Amino acid sequence: MNKNFTMTGVMGWPVAHSRSPLIHNHWIAQHGLTGAYGLFTVEQGNLADAIRGLRALGLAGSNITIPHKVEAMKYMDWIDPLAQRMGAINTIVVQADGALHGFNHDGFGFIQSLLEAQPTWRAEAGPAVVLGAGGAARAIIVSLMDAGAPEIRLINRTHSKAQDLAQELGAIVHPVNWRDRDTALQGASLLVNTTNQGMQGEPALDIALTHLPSSALVCDAIYIPLETPLLQSARERGNATVNGLGMLLHQARPAFHAWFGVMPEVTPALYQKLRATLA
Ligand code: NAP
């Protein structure tokens, strides 16, 4: 690795929309470090070569995003056990001896974003309802389990995927049929949307919140728009809400720490900078 200049970035396809350069380059400047974070457009089929290139080019590592988070695991010399359970990596750290280590910080980002929005929030408080069974759901469910959630109701449009994931992750994850999603909210203390429904260009998530306790925290992994129709209806009926921006910001912190040796903070100024790009 080049000792004078620390280079990292994100590999994905498409990747031009990624806000990660803004986040990491903000921290590099804030801490007076010498380095840069770039965008690497890596099409499917080129991932193995691109990852091998990290070492050859002397990079500190990289983030991995859609669609490579699962395939990238194949090319690691070591994978953090948490990332193994999540079944995907979002960060590669090149070690001093050139070994490639894989991590997944999405779950960390999710839990930190909840605590930032509501410092008294505790996973132990009651059942969580997770909508969706894709990559984001896996990371969020594992992190909720580790944080002490007593029960996780997993609801996915394709029920077999919820069943498979529940079987893989353990007995506290209960698959619930998509058609029962409204009543499954009864007694929940947390509701998380990890589907793409409500994202810009997609229809709103089709769910009625009538059975959801008003004390429940409602989260959406989506951050474009910042307030999805789900979050809007939750807010209007008095539930506290958290959008996906905090998850995006907080997942970046441990990666930055691994590459640059500084644990950065998510400040109001950084939020403001990011929000300005989403307006
Ligand atoms: P993914 O693996 O492709 O999963 C997508 C999920 O959405 C699946 O469960 C899928 O259900 C469901 N879905 C798709 N169309 C649907 C519909 N019409 N009705 C109901 N459910 C539908 O995607 P992902 O990587 O988990 O990402 C999911 C969301 O999380 C995206 O909006 C992404 O932007 C967001 N995300 C945010 C962050 C962050 O840092 N804030 C990080 C990661 C992801 P089926 O199984 O039935 O297809």
SS (H, E, C) 178-201: HHHCCHHHCCCCEEEECCCCCCCC
Question: What is the assigned CATH class of domain 6-104?
Answer: alpha beta
The Cα-based distances of 83 to 2, 12, 87, 186, 200 in angstroms read: 27, 18, 6, 31, 29
Span 158-168, average pLDDT: 97
Whether pLDDT at 119 is above 70: yes
pLDDT digits (tens, 9 = 90+) for 217-238: 999 999 999 999 999 999 999 9
| Residue 177, beta-bridge partner list | 156
Helix, strand, coil percent values for the chain (each to nearest 5) = 40, 20, 40
CATH of 107-245, one of 3.20.20.70, 3.40.50.1370, 3.30.70.1290, 3.40.50.720: 3.40.50.720
Phi, psi (degrees; rounded to nearest 5) at 160: -60, -30
Span 29-41, average pLDDT: 98
Whether pLDDT at 240 is above 90: yes
pTM of the model: 0.96
Whole-number Å distance, alpha carbon 192 to ligand 1 midpoint, is 11
Whether pLDDT at 1 is above 80: no
The protein residue with its alpha carbon nearest to ligand 1, atom 6, reads 195
- Domain extents in the chain: 6-104, 107-245
Residue 279: what pLDDT? Answer: 77
Residue 129: what pLDDT? Answer: 98
Residue 4: what pLDDT? Answer: 79
The CA angle 41-82-101, to the nearest 5 degrees, is 50
pLDDT band at 107 (very low <50, low <70, confident <90, very high): very high
Strands 6-12, 91-94: pairing kind? unpaired
Q: Of the listed 3, 69, 74, 273, which one is catalytic?
A: 69
pLDDT band at 149 (very low <50, low <70, confident <90, very high): very high
Residue 74 known to be catalytic? no
pLDDT digits (tens, 9 = 90+) for 241-253: 999 999 999 999 9
The Cα-based distances of 36 to 21, 95, 247, 248, 258 in angstroms read: 8, 18, 22, 19, 14
| Torsion angle, alpha carbons of 152, 155, 158, 162, to 10 | 10
Q: Is the separation of the CB atoms in 141 and 111 below 8 Å?
A: no
Span 119-124, average pLDDT: 96
How does DSSP assign 168-181, residue by residue? HH-TTEEEEEGGGT
Residue 3: what pLDDT? Answer: 60
Domains 6-104 and 107-245 share a fold: yes
Residues with CB under 6 A from ligand 1: 106, 109, 132-137, 156-158, 161, 194-197, 199, 221-223, 244, 247-248, 251
Mutate to test the pocket of ligand 1, among 106, 194, 243, 266 (most ligand atoms within 8 A of CB): 194
- How many residues in total does the chain contain? 279
**Which of 238, 235, 145, 247 has the alpha carbon at shortest distance from 194?**
247
Q: Looking at 60-199, list the stretches that DSSP marks H as alpha helix, in order from N- to C-terminal side.
A: 81-86, 106-117, 135-147, 159-169
